[in-house]
């Protein structure tokens, strides 16, 4: 004689799968748990050995492994809000999609954190066998993405991608359709003499940063939450909330930095990644020598041009202030 038993345990809001075991010979008894709505009912002693019992076992295993995702979806149900919406490209093509927001903590490292709304648009593909949805990661940081769906000429550029699968445009935390928008406006115009000396430039930016810091403090913005890691966590929570197993990434500039962070922490959920103008995870701070190299290349191009070089014989000194 043989049989199988399943044991799971409820730990707060989580369900732990403790074992699936085959036994042979004699009899065997074990206590198990069965998820039933929000309650837990004891199975008592249960042995699985007949075809009917095996069907029961399969159903039980299904519940055990699906329950965490069900709980997660229930959690997201209170945080995810979206509605159907149609968009039209400049060539007249109508694109159906979903427009919405996902509530996330402003700072996941702060138990008492405020809540942010992450705006997104999911453009639906008509492909018979769509590939993994493509998530667009804008540059900046601070550049929104959902406007691409609203602007007809920009939407037209996404039509070839929609032939392969859905496209998800995400407004990264604090930008675009998300709330609150973490923008600070400094109304002082750029002084005409700001480039005269390094001291004048530093003086201007010191005033700018002081104004911005005070503005954020008065509005209660927790700047510690505006990091690439938490940005990547937003992307993955949106993936989970939309019920997507794998995504493809399409990033530009800072979007490549964010894309690499996402792959670092959530690589198992990435099918493909296209990164343009790559900025590595340790390359955000630009060294002066890197800029000098580009200045030198530009100066060489100017010197090699017969017309421009007559007006600007030596470009390099003009860079210096």
**Segment 301-320, tens digit of pLDDT:** 999 999 998 988 888 888 77
Percentage of the chain lying above the pLDDT 90 cut: 46
Main-chain phi, psi angles of 249, to 5 degrees: -110, 140
Predicted confidence (pLDDT) at residue 59 exceeds the cutoff of 90: no
Which is more confidently placed, 110 or 30?
110
Which is more confidently placed, 54 or 1?
54
In b/e form, how buried is each residue of 282-313, taking b as 16+ CB within 10 angstroms?
eeeeeeeeeeeeeeeeebeebeeeeeeeeeee
| Section 197-216 average pLDDT | 88
Angstrom CA distances, 180 to 95, 120, 211, 220, 247, stand at 28, 14, 19, 11, 26
pLDDT at position 289:
82
Give CA–CA dist 244/38, Å, rounded: 25
Predicted confidence (pLDDT) at residue 70 exceeds the cutoff of 60: no
3-class DSSP state of 190: coil
Predicted confidence (pLDDT) at residue 34 exceeds the cutoff of 50: no
Place of tokens 């407004």: 171
- The pTM of the full predicted model, rounded to 2 decimals, is 0.68
- Domain 80-182+221-276, CATH number (from 3.40.50.460, 3.40.50.300, 1.10.645.10, 3.40.50.1820): 3.40.50.1820
Instruction: Yes or no: say if 142 and 175 are a contact pair by the CB < 8 Å rule.
Output: yes
Predicted confidence (pLDDT) at residue 40 exceeds the cutoff of 50: no
| Section 174-187 average pLDDT | 75
116: left (phi over 0), alpha (psi -120 to 50) or beta: beta
pLDDT at position 187:
67
Cis peptide before 318 (omega within 30 of 0): no
Task: Look at residues 125, 127, 145 and name the one whose alpha carbon lies nearest to residue 136.
Answer: 145
pLDDT at position 321:
57
Which is more confidently placed, 35 or 145?
145
Give CA–CA dist 232/168, Å, rounded: 15
């Amino acid at each position: 004689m043989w049989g199988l038993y399943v044991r799971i345990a409820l730990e707060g809001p989580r369900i732990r799968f403790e074992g699936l075991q085959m036994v042979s010979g004699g009899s065997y008894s074990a206590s198990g748990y069965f998820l039933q709505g929000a309650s837990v009912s004891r199975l008592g002693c249960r042995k699985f050995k007949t075809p009917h019992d095996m069907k029961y076992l399969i159903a039980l295993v299904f519940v055990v492994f699906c329950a965490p995702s069900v709980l997660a979806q229930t959690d997201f149900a209170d945080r995810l809000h979206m509605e159907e919406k149609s968009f039209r490209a400049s060539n007249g093509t109508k694109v159906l999609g979903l427009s919405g927001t996902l509530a996330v903590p402003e700072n996941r490292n702060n138990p008492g954190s405020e809540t942010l709304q992450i705006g997104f648009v999911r453009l639906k593909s008509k492909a018979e066998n769509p590939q993994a949805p493509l998530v667009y990661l804008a540059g900046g940081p601070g550049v929104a993405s959902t406007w691409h769906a609203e602007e007809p000429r920009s939407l037209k550029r996404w039509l070839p991608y929609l032939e392969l699968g859905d496209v998800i445009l995400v407004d990264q935390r604090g930008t675009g359709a998300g709330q609150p928008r973490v923008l600070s406006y400094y109304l002082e115009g750029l002084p005409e003499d700001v480039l005269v000396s390094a001291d004048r430039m530093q003086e201007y930016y010191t005033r700018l940063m002081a104004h911005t810091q005070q503005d954020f403090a008065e509005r209660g913005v927790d700047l510690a939450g505006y990091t690439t890691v938490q940005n990547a966590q937003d992307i993955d929570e949106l993936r989970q909330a939309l019920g997507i197993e794998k995504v493809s990434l399409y990033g530009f500039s800072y979007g490549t930095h964010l894309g690499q962070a996402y792959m670092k922490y959530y690589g198992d959920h990435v099918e493909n990644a296209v990164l343009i103008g790559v900025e590595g995870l340790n390359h955000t701070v630009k060294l002066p020598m890197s800029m000098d190299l580009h200045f030198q290349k530009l100066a060489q191009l100017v010197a090699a041009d017969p017309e421009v070089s007559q007006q600007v014989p030596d470009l390099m000194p003009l860079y210096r202030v």
